Amino acid sequence: MLQVANIRANKEAYIEALKKRNFDAQQLFSEVLDLDETRRSTQAELDDTLAESNKLSKEIGLLFKTGEHQKANRLKEETSELKERSKTLSEKLTETTAALEKHLYNIPNIPNPLVPAGASEEDNEEIFREGEVPQLAEGSLPHWELAKKYDIIDFELGNKITGAGFPVYKGKGARLQRALISYFLDKNVAAGYTEYQMPLMVNEASGFGTGQLPDKEGQMYHVTEDNLYLIPTAEVPVTNMFRDELLSDSDLPIACTGYTPCFRREAGSYGAHVRGLNRLHQFDKVEIVRIEKPGDSYKALDGMVEQVKDILRELKLPYRILRLCGGDLGFTSALTYDFEVFSTAQDRWLEISSCSNFETFQANRLKLRYKTADGKKQLAHTLNGSSLALPRVLAGILENYQTPEGIQVPEVLIPYTGFDMIN
């Protein structure tokens, strides 16, 4: 969430920057500043009214003590009027603050200057590419057919139990999935991240804290009776550990990692681009989250990118990195790098990770601050990244490592799986 003071100080620059997102902020910013002016003037009037009421209450007490009852009773009438005025002002302040907050919740983050302008994913910038695309034998199959051939993932059984987008992993498929989770966590812990095991449901405050609400409310599974939400990513519970916290300068940086299933009510569509593991309603993901001082956050983002690079190099999967354009940038992000692995059997790139810097946008919602060395309170920067999302990594492994004899297991995973071939 943007800070009103920053909107006031940088209004025209922010309006211009948000054009990269194809977002016209002119009217919304004017309404925000008007509401804030009303809020501040109402608060000042309420403070003055309460102060006057308190002053008169003290005078009334003294007048009763000195026997001046008539004068005291006249002042009591004045205090009654002041109390009514205070009640009216308090209600106005609550309504204005709520309206202001609602406006602010609907304004996306200001994109970093590095973010290219653009309307959609077609305008994202490729900034890095590594790894050789393997030459597959004739008759090579996409992963959903490999899953059926080797009986390692059952999409139809998942559909029977729950519905489309909830696959069942079987035998070596389940073991490979577990191997990837353990490998990702071990890599992150070795890089200095502390491992957490988090709840799979969060309350409404947590959803608002990291920006999933109200922006992505329709994409989240909602347990209505308890007003809880199934998490779309571990980013939500992990980052919310620090909601309403005042950290000390020495606490930072904080680096967390965690594995969770993730749940997303994405709109259904048809075709090879969403078949099999390409798009699911439930999937596994290992996440990394960082809390940083503002001056260190972009160096930390570069470090997260290198962390994902290192994993993909060890898996020996061909990948590329995209800098997302304004039209494809997430609501809360100031700068995002997407990783895509090349699926040889599908002959296309599959997104497997996003690493983002939110700057103070989430921290302002979370009221996540730290005390600087000179004692000042300042909003921290938050960052998160997939390290990694499993479905499309698994799809890439199955397709790129397939041979006429079966599917080879990447060498780095063999100690985790206990086997080197699926056949």
Q: Can you tell me the distance from the alpha carbon of 279 to that of 387, in angstroms, rounded to the nearest whole number?
A: 18
DSSP sequence for 201-219:
EEEHHHHHHHT-TTTTGGG
Asked if 68 and 162 sit in the same domain, the reply is no
> What value, to the nearest 5°, has the Cα angle with vertex 263 and ends 318 and 152?
55
Q: Can you tell me the distance from the alpha carbon of 238 to that of 200, in angstroms, rounded to the nearest whole number?
A: 11
Q: Which two three-digit tokens encode residue 305?
A: 């990118």
pLDDT at position 270: 47
114 in a domain, yes or no? no
Q: Where are the beta strands (DSSP E) in 40-116?
A: none
pLDDT at position 273: 61
pTM over 0.85: yes
291 in a domain, yes or no? yes
113 in a domain, yes or no? no
Determine the structural domain holding residue 376 and report its residue range: 121-422
Q: Can you tell me the distance from the alpha carbon of 103 to that of 38, in angstroms, rounded to the nearest whole number?
A: 14
Q: Can you tell me the distance from the alpha carbon of 72 to that of 64, in angstroms, rounded to the nearest whole number?
A: 6
116 in a domain, yes or no? no
Asked if 258 and 378 sit in the same domain, the reply is yes
* Residue that terminates a domain, selected from 43, 75, 105: 105
CATH number at residue 140: 3.30.930.10
Asked if 136 and 201 sit in the same domain, the reply is yes
Report CA-CA distances (Å) from 151 to 169, 337, 384.
9, 35, 35
* Residue that terminates a domain, selected from 54, 74, 105: 105
Asked if 99 and 129 sit in the same domain, the reply is no
The answer to whether the beta carbons of residues 125 and 322 sit under 8 Å apart is: yes
Q: Can you tell me the distance from the alpha carbon of 68 to that of 61, in angstroms, rounded to the nearest whole number?
A: 10
**Tens of each residue's pLDDT in the chain, 423 residues:** 999 999 999 999 999 999 999 999 999 999 999 999 999 999 999 999 999 998 888 888 888 888 888 887 888 888 888 999 999 999 999 999 999 999 999 999 999 999 999 999 999 999 999 999 988 888 899 999 999 999 999 999 999 999 999 999 999 999 999 999 999 999 999 999 999 999 999 999 999 999 999 888 889 999 999 999 999 999 999 999 999 999 999 999 999 999 999 999 875 544 556 789 999 999 999 999 999 999 999 999 999 999 999 999 999 999 999 999 999 999 999 999 999 999 988 999 999 999 999 999 999 999 999 999 999 999 999 999 999 999 999 999 999 999 999 999 999 999 999 999 999
Total number of residues shown for the chain? 423
The answer to whether the beta carbons of residues 274 and 318 sit under 8 Å apart is: no
185: left (phi over 0), alpha (psi -120 to 50) or beta: alpha
Asked if 177 and 259 sit in the same domain, the reply is yes
Handedness of CA 188, 189, 194, 198 (dihedral sign): positive
Q: Which two three-digit tokens encode residue 148?
A: 């059926």
396 in a domain, yes or no? yes
Asked if 230 and 324 sit in the same domain, the reply is yes
Q: Domain tally for the chain? A: 2
Q: Can you tell me the distance from the alpha carbon of 3 to that of 24, in angstroms, rounded to the nearest whole number?
A: 18
Asked if 13 and 81 sit in the same domain, the reply is yes
Asked if 161 and 265 sit in the same domain, the reply is yes
Q: How far apart are the first and last CA of the chain?
A: 51
Number of helices (H), then strands (E), belonging to the chain: the values are 13, 19
**Three-class secondary structure of residue 375 per DSSP:** coil
192: left (phi over 0), alpha (psi -120 to 50) or beta: left
Asked if 91 and 125 sit in the same domain, the reply is no
The answer to whether the beta carbons of residues 383 and 297 sit under 8 Å apart is: yes
CATH number at residue 52: 1.10.287.40
Asked if 272 and 391 sit in the same domain, the reply is yes
Asked if 37 and 150 sit in the same domain, the reply is no
**Three-class secondary structure of residue 399 per DSSP:** helix
Farthest CA pair distance, the chain: 106
171 in a domain, yes or no? yes
339 in a domain, yes or no? yes
112 in a domain, yes or no? no
Q: Which of 228, 355, 225, 339 is nearest to 288 (CA)?
A: 355
The answer to whether the beta carbons of residues 185 and 287 sit under 8 Å apart is: no
Asked if 65 and 154 sit in the same domain, the reply is no
* Residue that terminates a domain, selected from 81, 105, 129: 105
The answer to whether the beta carbons of residues 216 and 208 sit under 8 Å apart is: no
